[in-house]
Amino acid sequence: MVSVIGLGYIGLPTAVLLAQNGTSVIGIDITQHVVDSVNAGKLHIVEPGLDSALKYVVEKSCLRATNIPEPADAFIIAVPTPFTTGHKPDVSYIGDAVKALAPVLKKGNLVILESTSPVGTTERLSAWLAAARPDLSFPQQAGDDADVQIAHCPERVLPGKVLRELVSNDRVVGGMSAKASKMATELYRIFVKGDIVTTTTRTAEMCKLTENSFRDVNIAFANELSIICDKLNIDVWELIHLANRHPRVNVLQPGCGVGGHCIAVDPWFIVDSVPNEARLIRNAREINDHKSEWVLEKIKRTITDILTQKHGSTLSDIKVACLGLAFKPDIDDLRESPAIVIAQSIAKLGCQVLAVEPNIESLPEKLSRSNVALVQIEDALANADIICVLVKHSIFIKNKNIIGHKHIIDTVGLIGGFMQ
Ligand code: SAJ
């Protein structure tokens, strides 16, 4: 029996895959609505392919959910680790999970932390458990002979491809003892087809943070290039396309900022641990956050130009189309989306916002203002004074009507002087 604590974007598909592969799984979540929907075989998140898989394992009684942990052979903790003000990591959900599971721990158990965590968190988790259960021994006390083994195994799957990547990606397992690594490897072998490599808990924690910081730094390079090119009157998309013809160059794509709940968060965990040393990583974060402000300034300048030309017009007469609200192409996930922040700021200026997001059916609360409307792309193109392309959804790429509008601010290279 495996218990998965936290039935969100990572915990739920992990629970489903374990169940699909013959393991009896109990899912734990503090939110009643999550527990109820899982038990009803209904998905409370959006992830391709997961709905039918969930329905199947719940119907077969291989997976059930509850709010309170029960005894199991292994526990996988997959709870959020956001940051608080000042970009400080918030590991309180891990602390809560530890408190909840400590009473049901027994000799022979394995506890795996999957949540992206600052370096040293797995050791802290083990210390918390040891304090809560002095009757059991843990790896920091007894190594391979400990009653309860502890490991870190960070998730590294791409939203939208979670089910496929959970199976095919390699996994890094950091055990607090050799036995912990071995036990965790055996557990992931149940559904992982990629390699499973073992290391220390601290290296495994840093590995996850490194992966997302690597991407953030590389996106920051592309975003900085886009601002430089704008100043030098060079088409950044053509430039990147040409530079990438070099066999050892692979510049990523600029955008309207970096969103999502991982890349824009995890690098801060490194900066928080070693603020004096993590200079490039901090800089990259700041460059990517600044990109949205830069885009907004560009939009404001265009609005001012239009108002100067149209005598007697006011901000409320200007219609700004925002193409895309999601945090990246072809998903419906609006969490931590820079496009939402930009649309919100335009709305606050007093302009009319024509939001186009083909992947959602209603506007999020943040945008439910009288001057924001969710419209079809045709309406936006026909009525807007300014078109801002914020997300490169496939459906926009195919729309030839976008080209040729008088005022286009294309942050993602959808159109412009150079078409790839
Ligand atoms: N972005 C750009 N330019 C690019 C690529 C991405 O501006 O060339 C932007 C996207 O538009 C988005 C943000 O970056 O706003 C993040 O998107 P993403 O596709 O790079 O990453 P996520 O956040 O969906 O998932 C990442 C992945 N990490 C890496 O690729 C190293 C995923 O494998 C991790 O599991 C996930 O974070 C996580 O959970 O940590």
Instruction: Supply the DSSP string of 4-48, one letter for each residue.
Output: EE--STTHHHHHHHHHHTT--EEEE-S-HHHHHHHHTT--SS--T
Pocket test for ligand 1, best of 14, 212, 261, 270 (most atoms within 8 A of CB): 212
Residues 320 and 402 both lie in one domain: yes
Contact 418, 241 (CB under 8 A): yes
Domain assignment of residue 224, yes or no: no
Q: Is residue 230 part of a domain?
A: no
Residue count of the chain: 420
* Ligand 1 center–CA 263 separation, angstroms: 6
- Give yes or no for residue 140 CB within 6 A of ligand 1: no
Instruction: Name the 3-class secondary structure at 34.
Output: helix
For residue 116, which atom of ligand 1 is closest to its CA? Answer: 40
> With contact defined as beta carbons under 8 Å apart, do 377 and 356 qualify?
yes
Same domain, 157 and 242: no
Q: Indicate if 111 and 145 belong to the same structural domain.
A: yes
265 and 131, same structural domain? no
Statement to judge: residues 118 and 172 lie in one domain: yes
Report, as residue numbers or ranges, the catalytic residues. 208, 262
Give dist(CA 395, CA 377) in Å, integer. Answer: 10
Q: pLDDT-based confidence at 345, cuts 50/70/90?
A: very high
Q: With respect to residue 216, please indicate whether it lies within any of the assigned structural domains.
A: no
Would 222 be classed as within a structural domain?
no
Do 140 and 19 share a structural domain? yes
In a domain, 221, yes or no: no
* 354 shares a domain with 314: yes
263 CB within 6 A, ligand 1: yes
pTM: 0.94
- Under a CB-based contact definition with an 8 Å cutoff, are residues 127 and 140 in contact? yes
Give the position of tokens 């300014």.
Answer: 386
Note the pLDDT of residue 416.
59
Q: What pLDDT score does 399 carry?
A: 84
The predicted pLDDT at position 284 comes to 98
Average pLDDT over residues 264-292: 98
**Residue 391, CA atoms < 13 Å, CB-side half-sphere:** 31
- The answer to whether position 319 is within a domain reads yes
Domain match, 260 and 303 both:
yes
Average pLDDT along the chain: 95
pLDDT in tens, 225-258: 999 999 999 999 999 999 999 999 999 999 999 9
The dihedral built from the CA positions of residue 148, 26, 165 and 190, taken in this order, carries a sign that is: positive
Does ligand 1 lie within 6 Å of residue 264's CB atom?
A: no
Single residue among 141, 175, 209 that ends a domain in this structure: 209
Domain carrying residue 311: 235-419
Q: Who's near 139: CB < 8 A, 6+ residues apart?
A: 126, 146, 149, 150, 175, 176, 177, 179, 180
Percentage of residues in the chain having pLDDT higher than 90: 91
Least confident of 121-130, 147-156, 242-251, 398-407: 398-407
Question: Nearest Cα to 13, choosing from 25, 101, 202?
Answer: 25
Residue 267 near ligand 1, beta carbon < 6 Å: no
> How many domains are there within the chain?
2
Assess if residue 400 is contained within a domain.
Answer: yes
Q: Which residues is 83 bridged to in the sheet?
A: 89
Residue 336 lies in a domain: yes
- Among 49-53, 122-126, 138-142, 156-160, the range scoring the smallest mean pLDDT is 156-160
CATH number at residue 393: 3.40.50.720
